[in-house]
């Protein structure tokens, strides 16, 4: 040592070592930063998912609630009976025949000042393309064309089998898309990026076209148009949202009524029918099975091919045949009713068990009333009417309600049919699905894959099951298949393989939970049937953000929604907090806070991790819970004139209320009378934990009837309860770039800079 | 506990025979460290007296709370709901619990919690005692802002106040525990605008630290 050179080396070595150490330090710090972001992202996802599924469970609970009421509620007055009846009836529609259907739309005039797209039938490919372009320019299709299109669609669908078959011999490539949920931007993007449908380019859309997003109608129009234009190459599968009961809650019904007003109701009726006629699954080259939800260990493709899919009006309400009929028909198939009748309804205070679900049929008295006593006389007189199922099932429901309510039935029980026995059984067969058939359909529309082996009830959704890798394996082996493609679940990357890549989930609604929450994806199959996946995210704004900014935005949406939910349970939370506040100090530990919140909300969320963002008023380790709850309330409330505890109950039940109101408002006018409103509350409070007096209800009703005309505008009422949702949507509106996209360039395809990058993912 | 303030990980807390035993063993650790250093995690006393029963009970409460935190973080990634997580998520979990190990330390930790025959999954029963130990002993503490600044300054010996994009890329992908391309891109996107070519690291650090809080 000592020579210049080696000293220089020595210093150089030291410097290198220092640089190395500095780099490690920076990298270490950065990786921790990213890990925390990842944790936040994952937590945010959990929040959205748990709230979404809680909402779905609510829907099932609501269904059970009504069924329970029908079975057990004794109306004490004539008006109450009427009210109850009306909750289950749709307006009787004029006699169902082809002629009638035509006159639906033929009588509707298209005004001269209409600037939207025109349709003429038979449709040509150019019409379908023009339709997409018109929608991209935010035009609306006139009701006449909508009904015409639905009429033609139904004619086409009726001819299709339950399981469509596609072959790569005819189309070189087949593109499968998942849930769209009313997000037209994503559909337009897919057509732009992948190409419009053509004889060489087949498409399969795997259900859930509607609800939640704002352009469900337009999506349906486009999909139906292409299906008519390319019947061999364009296929649709039914999803669990192609269901009028689900639509009542999740926004599609509202969208139709808002866009089409007086014609809306007719459109909804037609749609209810069209949905029932959608095929249940698609098979590619006899090797790749595509269906919306999943499978169960009981899934029987042969049975699914043969059943009358049109009988299954809604997977949420099952009206099945009598026990003995079913037994005779099934010839020894396993019965499903072992659990029925032993579950007590969830909303009775003493039962905190699993919600009754489509899986566990509660003890309806349907089988007692059966078909022989409740068929309106009109059926007996018109044999053609036998093949139109949708309205018949509703009529039966009406009859059942009348019976329950004590009105005289049209026919005595056990009265023999006028027809001969063959027609009899035909009538019976056509009217209602068997329990087994219904269950098969629920399974394929609602199930989700799980990692564990086996098959168990899907308690999160309230319908279908969780199926494990062994179930998949057995099914694929049994039918000589190589892949199952399904949708139904939102995935951060728009797709996900599981079960050793035997199951592919494909989800095409990007930014589903919030702007930046997830990508969308579609999958292409060539003759080799190797899946090739393409991802996208149809919102340019998020592309410019860093990951941190994207995650923060989505997180903020989730937290806002979560805070709303916390507020909605304020009273229960206060009770739980008090329980843990032994000395009545007004303080609890943060640990107790987490435990209390979980015990009330049951969302299974990591509350300790979320705590810093939900609670900012803690001192040290203790929280003043009362003031925290007050802060929550201040954030959510802006109307001081309604009792806050009532508002909280309203808020908690607002989705249910909306649904109920829409059912009551059977003419979809947007108004219900004060009396109807009061009766609704009375029914509600008689079966839920609500101590509200009749006076309280009257006061509430009066205070909401702002113009004192004896009617409540449903929308105004719900506005009062949807305060937070309003501010949420205002916050998100600025994120949406599509508003600036309507520049009327008028050409197809849309220009590149209105869309965003796409990553190609090799299989 | 060793004199240089490290623990040999296989002493105490890792027998994985149940939470209760883990807790007692941890209290044992605390007791030992108390004896050696005169204080334990969270307790300000400088006296060399052994902890009293009540103090041990407080530690138990603290530990119980820590373990609930650990369980929560673990469950976020327990997608199959069977008390296991993918081994690739362990780093995220550990870091989100407030620790800041480097990659080498992380690999050692993973080795500790893995099965003898690695399955690709880590079980909660093995993870909990190890993680509890780490938190109780406050290992892998995050880096204070000043130290981080010094690290950047080492890479910027002429003290310009910034690094060029090329320099940062070179250091981060060639030195230390190199970044993957993805990591590098993400860091750049947050650190500099699309037009710029320089990272003013002082501002960068401040921004990131604010984000955290």
Instruction: Report which of B100, B126, B102, B107 is spatially closest to residue B177, judged by C-alpha positions.
Output: B102
Q: What is the mean pLDDT of residues A715-741?
A: 39
Highest mean pLDDT: which of A66-75, A303-312, B79-88? A303-312
What stretch of H or E contains A677? Answer: helix A674-687
Residue A310 appears among annotated catalytic residues = no
Q: What is the mean pLDDT of residues A585-589?
A: 89
- Higher-scoring residue by pLDDT: A617, A155: A155
- Higher-scoring residue by pLDDT: B135, A373: B135
Residue A513 in 3-state DSSP? coil
Among A12, A14, A30, the residue to mutate for chain B (most B Cβ within 10 A): A30
Highest mean pLDDT: which of A13-22, A311-320, A439-448? A439-448
Of B73, B148, B189, the CB nearest to A25: B148
Compute the Cα dihedral for A385, A390, A391, A397 and give only its sign: positive
Over the Cα atoms of chain B, what is R_g?
20
Q: What is the mean pLDDT of residues A115-132?
A: 92
Q: What is the mean pLDDT of residues A488-498?
A: 94
Q: CA of A591: which chain B residue's CA is closest? A: B65
- Give the model's pLDDT for residue A497: 96
Instruction: Report which of A515, A435, A444, A456 is spatially closest to residue A186, judged by C-alpha positions.
Output: A515
- Give the model's pLDDT for residue A483: 96
Two structure tokens written together for A485: 């493609």
Record: contact B102-A46, CB cut-off 8 A: no
Distances from the Cα of A233 to the Cα of A113, A148, A204, A226, angstroms? 36, 22, 8, 9
Q: CB atoms < 10 A from the CB of A609, how many?
A: 21
Among A15, A30, A32, the residue to mutate for chain B (most B Cβ within 10 A): A32
A-contacting residues in B 15-54 (Cβ below 8 Å): none
> Does the pLDDT of residue A78 top 80, yes or no?
no
Long-range contacts of A457-461 (CB under 8 A, 24+ apart): A457/A357, A457/A359, A457/A360, A458/A359, A459/A354, A459/A355, A459/A357, A460/A53, A460/A56, A460/A57, A461/A53, A461/A56, A461/A57, A461/A60
- Within 8 A of A591 by CB-CB distance, chain B residues are 65, 68
- Within 8 A of A31 by CB-CB distance, chain B residues are 91, 95, 103, 183
In eight-state DSSP terms, residue B158 is T
A288-297 burial code (b ≥16 CB/10 A, e <16): bbbbbbbbbe
Record: contact A28-B151, CB cut-off 8 A: no
Record: contact A609-B73, CB cut-off 8 A: yes
Record: contact A26-B82, CB cut-off 8 A: no
> Does the pLDDT of residue A305 top 80, yes or no?
yes
- Within 8 A of A21 by CB-CB distance, chain B residues are 151, 154, 176
Q: For chains A and B, count residue pairs whose Cβ atoms are closer than 8 Å.
A: 124
Long-range contacts of B159-166 (CB under 8 A, 24+ apart): B161/B200, B161/B201, B161/B202, B162/B198, B162/B199, B162/B200, B162/B201, B163/B198, B163/B199, B163/B201, B164/B197, B164/B198, B164/B199, B165/B192, B165/B196, B165/B197, B165/B198, B165/B199
For helices B53-76 and B19-37, the axis angle rounded to 10 degrees is 120
- Give the model's pLDDT for residue A285: 92
Beta strand residue intervals within A402-530, DSSP E: 448-449, 455-457, 465-467, 483-486, 495-498, 503-506, 520-525
What's the rounded Cα separation, in Å, for the pair A51 and A376? 42
Q: CA of B173: which chain A residue's CA is closest? A: A23
- Give the model's pLDDT for residue A57: 67
Answer whether B140's CB lies under 8 Å from B101's CB: yes
What's the rounded Cα separation, in Å, for the pair A586 and A626? 7
> Does the pLDDT of residue A689 top 60, yes or no?
no
Q: Which residues contact A203 (CB under 8 A, 6 or more apart)?
A: A174, A175, A176, A177, A197, A226, A233, A234, A235
Instruction: Report which of A66, A65, A63, A79 is spatially closest to residue A405, judged by C-alpha positions.
Output: A79
A499 to chain B, closest Cα gap in Å: 12
Two structure tokens written together for A70: 């029908």
- Is A723 buried (19+), middle (13-18) or exposed (0-12) by CB count in 10 A? middle
What's the rounded Cα separation, in Å, for the pair A246 and B160? 63
- Higher-scoring residue by pLDDT: A682, A581: A581
Q: CB atoms < 10 A from the CB of A425, how many?
A: 15
Record: contact B68-A608, CB cut-off 8 A: yes
Answer whether A348's CB lies under 8 Å from A65's CB: no
Of B77, B100, B154, the CB nearest to A18: B154
Q: Which of A487-496, A626-635, B44-53, B155-164 has the lowest mean pLDDT?
A: B44-53
Record: contact B208-A33, CB cut-off 8 A: yes
A714 to chain B, closest Cα gap in Å: 40
Q: What is the mean pLDDT of residues A678-683?
A: 65
Strands A520-525 vs A531-536: parallel, antiparallel or unpaired: antiparallel
Q: Which residue is associated with the tokens 């996946």?
A: A533
Instruction: Report which of B113, B68, B118 is spatially closest to residue B90, judged by C-alpha positions.
Output: B113
For helices A547-568 and A607-614, the axis angle rounded to 10 degrees is 90
Q: CB atoms < 10 A from the CB of A416, how many?
A: 8
Return the percent helix, strand and coil in chain A, to nearest 5. 55, 10, 35
Residue A507 in 3-state DSSP? strand
What's the rounded Cα separation, in Å, for the pair A366 and A370? 6
Highest mean pLDDT: which of A60-74, A99-113, A512-526? A512-526
Of B96, B155, B172, the CB nearest to A35: B96
Task: Given the residues A63, A241, A244, A310, select the one marked as catalytic.
Answer: A241
Strands A163-166 vs A281-284: parallel, antiparallel or unpaired: parallel
- Give the model's pLDDT for residue A704: 61
Q: Which of A444-453, A493-502, B18-27, B185-194 has the lowest mean pLDDT?
A: B18-27
> Does the pLDDT of residue A687 top 70, yes or no?
no
B44-69 burial code (b ≥16 CB/10 A, e <16): eeeeeeebeeebbeebbebbebbbeb
Q: Which residue is associated with the tokens 């699954």?
A: A281
What's the rounded Cα separation, in Å, for the pair A159 and A232? 12
Two structure tokens written together for A238: 């039914």
In eight-state DSSP terms, residue A737 is G
Compute the Cα dihedral for A272, A274, A277, A283 and give only its sign: negative
Q: Which residues of A touch B (CB under 8 A)?
A: 15, 18-36, 38-39, 42-43, 46, 450-452, 546-548, 591, 594, 606-609
C-alpha angle A731/A732/A733, rounded to 5°? Answer: 95
> Does the pLDDT of residue B14 top 60, yes or no?
no
C-alpha angle A545/A761/A49, rounded to 5°? Answer: 60
pLDDT band at A145 (very low <50, low <70, confident <90, very high): very high
Q: What is the mean pLDDT of residues A756-763?
A: 39
A589 to chain B, closest Cα gap in Å: 11
What's the rounded Cα separation, in Å, for the pair A656 and A662? 10
Of A15, A28, A607, the CB nearest to B100: A28
Among B185, B209, B211, the residue to mutate for chain A (most A Cβ within 10 A): B211
For residue range B153-200, what is the model confidence (pLDDT) as tens digits?
999 888 898 888 899 999 999 988 999 998 998 888 888 776 788 888
Residues in chain A, overall count = 763
Among A12, A17, A21, A33, the residue to mutate for chain B (most B Cβ within 10 A): A33
- Give the model's pLDDT for residue B3: 35
Record: contact A607-B152, CB cut-off 8 A: no
Distance from the Cα of residue B140 to its chain's centroid: 4
For helices A547-568 and A644-652, the axis angle rounded to 10 degrees is 120
Q: CB atoms < 10 A from the CB of A138, how many?
A: 15
- Within 8 A of A548 by CB-CB distance, chain B residues are 190, 211
Supply the ipTM of this predicted assembly.
Answer: 0.78
Answer whether B136's CB lies under 8 Å from B26's CB: yes
What's the rounded Cα separation, in Å, for the pair A471 and A465? 11
Two structure tokens written together for A664: 């009551």
B111 to chain A, closest Cα gap in Å: 19
A40 to chain B, closest Cα gap in Å: 9
Answer whether A346's CB lies under 8 Å from A312's CB: no
Answer whether A149's CB lies under 8 Å from A221's CB: yes
What's the rounded Cα separation, in Å, for the pair A672 and A140? 28
Instruction: Report which of B118, B104, B112, B105 is spatially closest to residue B130, judged by C-alpha positions.
Output: B112
Q: CB atoms < 10 A from the CB of A709, how many?
A: 11
Average pLDDT, chain A: 72
Distances from the Cα of A356 to the Cα of A50, A397, A460, A461, A652, angstroms? 19, 20, 12, 11, 20
- Within 8 A of A26 by CB-CB distance, chain B residues are 148, 151-152, 155, 171-172, 176
Record: contact B189-A31, CB cut-off 8 A: no
What's the rounded Cα separation, in Å, for the pair B15 and B6? 19
- Within 8 A of A23 by CB-CB distance, chain B residues are 151, 155, 171-172, 175-177
Q: What is the mean pLDDT of residues A512-521?
A: 89
- Within 8 A of B92 by CB-CB distance, chain A residues are 35, 38-39
> Does the pLDDT of residue A528 top 50, yes or no?
yes
Of A31, A452, A607, the CB nearest to B80: A452
Residues in chain B, overall count = 213
> Does the pLDDT of residue A479 top 60, yes or no?
yes
- Higher-scoring residue by pLDDT: A540, A459: A459
Residue B200 in 3-state DSSP? coil
Record: contact B177-A606, CB cut-off 8 A: no
Answer whether A225's CB lies under 8 Å from A128's CB: yes
Of B100, B150, B187, the CB nearest to A32: B100
What's the rounded Cα separation, in Å, for the pair A456 and A354? 13
pLDDT band at A385 (very low <50, low <70, confident <90, very high): very low
What's the rounded Cα separation, in Å, for the pair A612 and A630? 17
Q: What is the mean pLDDT of residues A704-722?
A: 61
Among B79, B102, B159, B174, the residue to mutate for chain A (most A Cβ within 10 A): B102
């Amino acid at each position: 040592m000592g020579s210049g050179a080696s000293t220089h080396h020595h210093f150089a070595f030291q410097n290198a070592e220092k640089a190395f150490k500095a780099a490690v330090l920076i990298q270490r710090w950065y990786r921790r930063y990213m890990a925390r972001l990842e944790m936040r992202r994952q937590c945010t996802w959990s929040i959205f998912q748990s709230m979404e599924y809680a909402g779905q469970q609510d829907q099932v609970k609501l269904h059970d609630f009504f069924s329970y009421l029908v079975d057990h509620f004794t109306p004490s007055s004539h008006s109450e009976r009427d009210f109850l009846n009306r909750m289950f009836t749709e307006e009787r529609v004029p006699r169902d025949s082809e002629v009638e259907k035509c006159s639906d739309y033929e009588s509707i005039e298209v005004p001269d000042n209409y600037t939207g797209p025109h349709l003429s039938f038979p449709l040509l490919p150019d019409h379908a393309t023009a339709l997409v372009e018109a929608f991209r320019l935010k035009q609306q299709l006139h009701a006449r064309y909508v009904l015409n299109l639905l009429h033609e669609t139904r004619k086409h669908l009726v001819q299709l089998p339950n399981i469509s078959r596609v072959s790569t011999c005819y189309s070189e490539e087949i593109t499968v898309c998942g849930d769209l949920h009313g997000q037209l931007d994503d559909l337009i993007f897919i057509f732009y990026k992948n190409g419009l449908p053509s004889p060489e380019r087949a498409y399969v859309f795997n259900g859930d076209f509607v609800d939640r997003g704002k352009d469900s109608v337009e999506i349906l129009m486009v999909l139906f148009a292409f299906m008519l234009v390319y019947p061999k190459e364009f296929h649709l599968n039914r999803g669990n949202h192609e269901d009028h009961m689900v639509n009542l809650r999740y926004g599609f019904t509202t969208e139709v009524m808002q866009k089409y007003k007086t014609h809306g109701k007719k459109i909804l009726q037609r749609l209810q029918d069209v949905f029932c006629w959608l095929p249940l699954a698609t098979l590619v080259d006899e090797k790749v099975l595509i269906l919306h939800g999943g499978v169960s260990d009981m899934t029987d493709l042969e049975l699914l091919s043969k059943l009358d899919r049109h009988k299954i009006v809604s997977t949420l309400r099952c009206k099945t045949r009598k026990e003995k009929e079913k037994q005779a028909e099934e010839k020894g198939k396993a019965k499903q009713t072992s659990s029925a009748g032993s579950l007590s309804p969830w909303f009775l205070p003493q039962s905190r068990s699993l919600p009754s679900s489509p899986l566990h049929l509660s003890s309806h008295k349907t089988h007692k009333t059966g078909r022989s006593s409740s068929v309106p006389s009109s059926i007996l007189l018109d044999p053609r009417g036998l093949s139109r199922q949708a309205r018949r099932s509703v009529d039966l429901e009406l009859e059942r309600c009348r019976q329950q309510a004590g009105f005289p039935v049209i026919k005595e029980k056990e009265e023999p049919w006028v027809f001969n026995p063959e027609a009899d059984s035909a009538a019976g067969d056509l009217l209602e699905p068997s329990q087994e058939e219904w269950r098969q359909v629920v399974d394929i529309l609602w199930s989700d894959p799980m990692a564990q082996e086996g098959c168990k009830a899907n308690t999160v959704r309230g319908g279908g099951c969780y199926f494990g890798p062994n179930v998949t394996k057995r099914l694929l082996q049994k039918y000589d298949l190589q892949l199952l493609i399904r949708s139904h679940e939102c995935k951060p990357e728009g797709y996900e393989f599981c079960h050793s890549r035997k199951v592919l989930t494909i989800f095409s609604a990007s930014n589903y939970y919030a702007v930046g929450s997830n990508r969308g994806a579609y999958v292409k199959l060539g003759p080799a049937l190797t899946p090739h996946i393409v991802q996208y995210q149809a919102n340019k704004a998020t592309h410019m953000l860093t990951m941190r900014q994207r995650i923060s935005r989505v997180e903020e949406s989730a937290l806002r929604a979560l805070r709303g939910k916390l507020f909605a349970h304020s009273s229960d939370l206060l009770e739980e907090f008090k329980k843990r506040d032994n000395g009545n100090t007004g303080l609890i530990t943060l640990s107790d806070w987490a435990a209390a919140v979980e015990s009330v909300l049951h969302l299974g969320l990591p509350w300790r991790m979320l705590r810093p963002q939900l609670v900012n008023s803690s001192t040290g380790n203790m929280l003043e819970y009362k003031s925290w709850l007050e802060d929550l309330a201040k954030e959510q409330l802006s109307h001081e004139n309604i009792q806050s505890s009532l508002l909280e109950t309203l808020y908690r039940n607002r989705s249910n209320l909306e649904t109920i109101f829409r059912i009551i408002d059977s003419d979809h006018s947007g108004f219900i009378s004060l009396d109807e409103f009061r009766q609704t509350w009375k029914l509600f409070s008689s079966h839920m934990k609500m101590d509200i007096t009749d006076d309280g209800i009257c006061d509430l009703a009066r205070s909401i009837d702002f113009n004192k005309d004896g009617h409540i505008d449903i929308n105004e009422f719900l506005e009062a309860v949807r305060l937070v949702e309003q501010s949420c949507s205002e916050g998100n509106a600025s994120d949406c770039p599509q508003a600036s996209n309507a520049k009327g360039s008028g050409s197809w395809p849309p220009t590149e800079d209105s869309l965003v990058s796409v990553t190609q993912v090799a299989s | 506990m060793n004199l240089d303030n490290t623990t040999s990980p296989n002493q105490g807390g890792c027998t994985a025979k149940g939470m209760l035993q883990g807790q007692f063993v941890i209290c044992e650790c605390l007791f030992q460290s108390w004896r050696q250093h005169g204080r334990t995690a969270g307790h300000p006393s400088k006296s060399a007296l052994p902890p009293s029963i009540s103090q041990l009970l407080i530690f138990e409460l603290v530990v119980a709370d820590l373990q609930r935190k650990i369980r929560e973080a673990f469950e976020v990634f327990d997608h199959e709901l069977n008390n296991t997580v993918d081994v690739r998520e362990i780093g995220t979990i550990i870091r989100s619990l407030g620790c800041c190990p480097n990659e080498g330390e992380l690999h050692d930790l993973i080795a500790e919690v893995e099965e003898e025959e690695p399955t690709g999954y880590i079980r909660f029963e093995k993870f909990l005692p190890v993680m509890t130990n780490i938190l109780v002993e406050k290992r892998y503490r995050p880096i204070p802002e000043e130290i981080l600044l010094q690290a950047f300054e080492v890479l910027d010996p002429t003290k310009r106040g910034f690094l060029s994009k090329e320099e940062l890329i070179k250091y981060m992908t060639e030195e230390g525990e190199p970044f993957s391309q993805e990591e590098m891109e993400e860091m750049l996107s947050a650190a500099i605008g699309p037009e710029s070519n320089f990272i003013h690291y002082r501002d960068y650090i401040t921004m990131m630290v604010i984000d955290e809080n």
